[in-house]
Amino acid sequence: MAKIGDLLRIGRTFSFEFFPPRTDDAQLTLGRTIAELEPLRPAFVSVTYGAGGSTRARTRDVVTWVRRETNITPMAHLTCQGHTRTEITEILDHYRDADVHNIMALGGDLPSDPADIRPSDYTYASELVAEVNGYGYFSVGVAAHPEGHPRSPDRATDRRRLADKLRHADFAITQFFFEASHYVRLVDELMALGVDKPVLPGIMPVTNKGQIVRMAEMSGTALPSWLVERLNGTDDPHEIRKIGVDVATTLCEDLLAAGAPGLHFYTLNRSTATREIYANLNLSSMH
């Protein structure tokens, strides 16, 4: 099974992200979505990780299932928040035994309920990157925030921290954003710090107005005024989804023209918007 770092050295990658389902019905929906997206031949798929612990086992189960039952390369998200070194060792041992070669090493957010906060032997994602690297087995990715991490005091500090992480990782994947200039600035600022590792832009097609507003607030992503105006011009769910696909298609075109090493789609466990963007870009013919 391929390592993502190796795939990026060969050429552009197109990939999808899922979240672990919380119910059996949601599990079936995700299974259908993966089946619908597999013909697009993604370079890899990633599975997110629950901060509060409720979906952590499901992340492992989904990643292991993808590795065993499909031809897709999976990447498991892993957070240092709420983990002891012993727990991280057990998780990494499991993935190594399951022939999973890719880990997304993240800091993670504190659970919203204080009762769910668990002991942690790690403070920063960089510590988890070092732990995973110690295995000499995994390709390691880290998160990047084109508009700056919401907890960073300023963009310059954010870039220095990201550059430090990337020096020890193989690649980064960004939080979603809506204007290519944010991505170009991020890459240029990393280059100025001497870091040229691949940075994959994360693409979130708007499919629900209220949902994207909430997610943007949580992630520190700005909703541009031109996008807000377009979305506020209609309450028709079909029209909103069409706007979202059109906006994402244009963003992808701009990013590929700017030299992005690939595209990473946040699917929200649905395939339709991603498949439409793929068709608009004619991506199936590009790999």
Q: For residue 186, give every residue at least 6 positions away whose Cβ sits within 8 Å of its Cβ, in sequence order, or none.
A: 144, 146, 159, 174, 199
CB of 190 closer than 8 Å to CB of 27: no
- For 184-189, which contacts have Cβ atoms below 8 Å and span 24 or more sequence positions? 184/258, 185/146, 186/144, 186/146, 186/159, 189/155, 189/159
> Which candidate in 17, 131, 147, 189 is catalytic?
17
Cα distance between residue 211 and residue 261, in whole Å = 28
Which position has the token pair 């993502």?
Answer: 4
Q: Where are the alpha helices (DSSP H) in 38-136?
A: 56-69, 85-97, 125-133
Cα distance between residue 85 and residue 88, in whole Å = 5
Q: Catalytic residue at 179?
A: no
By C-alpha distance, which of 172, 171, 238, 173 is closest to 202? 173
Residue 17: phi and psi, rounded to 5, are -120, 140
Residue positions annotated with a catalytic role = 17
